[in-house]
Amino acid sequence: MNNLLNDHSEVVSFEKEMEKISPFELKDRLIQLADESIRKMTRTMLNAGRGNPNWVATVPREAFFAMGRFSLDECRLDWEYTEGLAGIPHKEGIAARFEAFLNTHRKEQGVEFLEKCYRYMLQEHRPNADELIHEWAESVIGNQYPVPDRILYFTEVAMRDYFAQELCNGRPPQGEVDFFATEGGTAAMCYIFDSLQQNRLLERGDRVALMTPVFTPYIEIPKLYRYNYKVTEIPANRMSSDGLHLWQYDEKEINRLRDTSYKALFIVNPSNPPSYMIDSKSVDMLVEIVEKWNPGLMIVTDDVYATYVPGFQSLMARLPHNTICVYSFSKYFGATGWRSAFIAVHRDNIFDRLLTRLPRKRKSELAQRYGSLRSDVENMLFIDRMVADSRQVALNHTAGLSLPQQFQMTLFALYSIIDKREGDMFRSRMLEIIDKRITALWTNMGFTLQPDPLRAGYYSEIDLLVWARKFYGNDFVEWLQLNYSPLDVVFRLATETSLVVLNGGGFDGPEWSIRVSLANLKTQDYVIIGKSVRKILDSYAERWRKSLPVEN
């Protein structure tokens, strides 16, 4: 591959070819190029392409392992102890034994926080203590199938509290919200697209809208033959008076959704990659559109970066009856490997109402699809259909997220709730880390990053044409676009400096933008990235100056 990049014409051809693939697939090619650069120059590769954080939340993990110690002891009570073999936890009296464990092991790692979780649940929800601890013990041991399959009872209780605090800023919608625990946000996406199609709420060729730039699966999935949706993009193209991106949406673009031929709207909020929360003006417009113009609009909002914007409020808080919310614990808690997330759907929702309005033939087809699960398929909720579809219906009896995953996500949720009550120390540290990294990046590029309370900052999307124009003028921008591919920057970063970033155009953002993850490298690494980006921009400018005719 390195030989390919030695000839300029072949470089251009290769870059054109790479413009067609997903930026996450392109990342693997860039890593290969960076590896080759490392072998030649003996330096370290810095990969700012993927958003896997380089931190972990330790306290909820310590509590997980502490609960594991207690639960294994419970298993050993069931049978006469045999090396390597024990029974299962039993419910009767388990809370009393748990409290004795807390008293005995109070000074051990994780036990103090585990007790805080226990006391929180008792004080806020007054459960049967034996039922609570038995669910937790079986969960950490993982000796049972998930029952209920959609989500465990006390896991859902914790998710409701977390959802209200972190995704609704303490103002959740009135009425009940149901949750489906899933194998990460990616599984949630797959399940939603699948069930919307299986239940004929979205048919092949239907019109949908996508707020861009956006996480690439939301771009790529609708294009698959199975769905083949007619996609309209609503770009975040608003600019400030001095020509900087605001990463917000124009009123004219949002108002296109008044057209009732748009069946669904897909949003990542805060956005990926710009990493900004949708502003209140745009949210108000969406509320008005649903209430006055397009009441059947189905909305899917992916809110995985919610915790990085203080005071965040999901669209589901404002439009609960039309919205499905996806949330993953992967980013905030450093838990991409746990694959823990949820889908939230209000009990009173447009999805269930649309099911009742399907033609008789469609209802008959769906009765056949889900008929092995229940006789009254027409009364089967959309969220329960997602659970069934996640296991091809026939394996519905083994559906559900694994019990250990559900218990860990319970501890993650309770950690955030308890942390807020105790001064928000964990959140403050997270925001401080992100702020230092993004400041290091932008300062060393020599670009200006305006303060913005809507910025999550987990990623940064940098439109190089904006800064090329500010530093060198329109003539330089025209020359740059004429002579180089938008991918040239990411390839040069990989081959010349062993830095891997993603192309913003792959997220349907500005073609000449790059996406840098602020999550997975050290602060000093972003100094290097910032300087390298600016060096490449300046090198283009130097070539441009040399290409200008010499004045007599």
Judged by DSSP in three states, 183 sits in strand
Higher pLDDT, 51 or 204: 204
The vertex-362 CA angle with 358 and 368, nearest 5°, equals 130
pLDDT at 551 exceeding the cut of 80: no
Q: Radius of gyration (Cα) for the chain, nearest Å?
A: 26
Cα dihedral value 167, 48, 533, 504, nearest 10: -60
| Residue 321 region by backbone torsions, left for phi larger than 0, else alpha for psi between -120 and 50, else beta | alpha
| Residue 460 region by backbone torsions, left for phi larger than 0, else alpha for psi between -120 and 50, else beta | beta
Query: What CA–CA distances, in Å, run from 506 to 23, 218, 272, 302?
Result: 5, 12, 11, 18
Provide the pLDDT confidence category of residue 495 given band limits of 50, 70 and 90.
confident
pLDDT at 40 exceeding the cut of 60: no
Provide the pLDDT confidence category of residue 117 given band limits of 50, 70 and 90.
very high
Largest CA distance in the chain: 100
Task: Give the residue from 216, 208, 199, 258 showing the smallest Cα distance to 233.
Answer: 208
Task: Give the residue from 56, 49, 52 showing the smallest Cα distance to 529.
Answer: 49
Residue with tokens 């993850």: 517
pLDDT at 10 exceeding the cut of 50: no
Q: State the CATH architecture for 3-43+425-547.
A: Alpha-Beta Complex (3.90)
CATH number, domain 58-144:
1.10.20.110
- Flag the least confident range among 43-57, 117-131, 442-456: 43-57
pLDDT of residue 406: 98
**What pairing do the DSSP bridges indicate for beta strands 230-235 and 207-212?**
parallel
The fold adopted by the segment(s) 154-417 is Aspartate Aminotransferase; domain 2 (3.40.640)
- Flag the least confident range among 316-330, 367-381, 491-505, 509-523: 491-505
End-to-end CA distance of the chain: 44
As a whole number of angstroms, the distance between CA 166 and CA 434 comes to 18
pLDDT of residue 457: 96
pLDDT at 50 exceeding the cut of 90: no
**What pairing do the DSSP bridges indicate for beta strands 207-212 and 262-268?**
parallel
Interval 497-538: pLDDT, tens: 888 888 898 889 999 999 999 999 999 999 999 999 999 999
Query: What CA–CA distances, in Å, run from 88 to 133, 135, 407, 527?
Result: 13, 12, 17, 53
pLDDT of residue 17: 59
- What the block records as the tokens of 443 is 């300062």
514's enclosing H/E stretch is strand 513-517
Domain ranges of the chain: 3-43+425-547, 58-144, 154-417
Phi, psi of 431 (to 5 degrees): -65, -35
Task: Give the residue from 400, 385, 414, 408 showing the smallest Cα distance to 160.
Answer: 414
- What the block records as the tokens of 467 is 């800064």
Task: Give the residue from 331, 409, 519 showing the smallest Cα distance to 61.
Answer: 409
- What DSSP state is assigned to residue 173? P
| Burial class of 443 by CB neighbour count within 10 A (0 to 12, 13 to 18, 19+) | middle
Mean pLDDT value across residues 31-60: 74
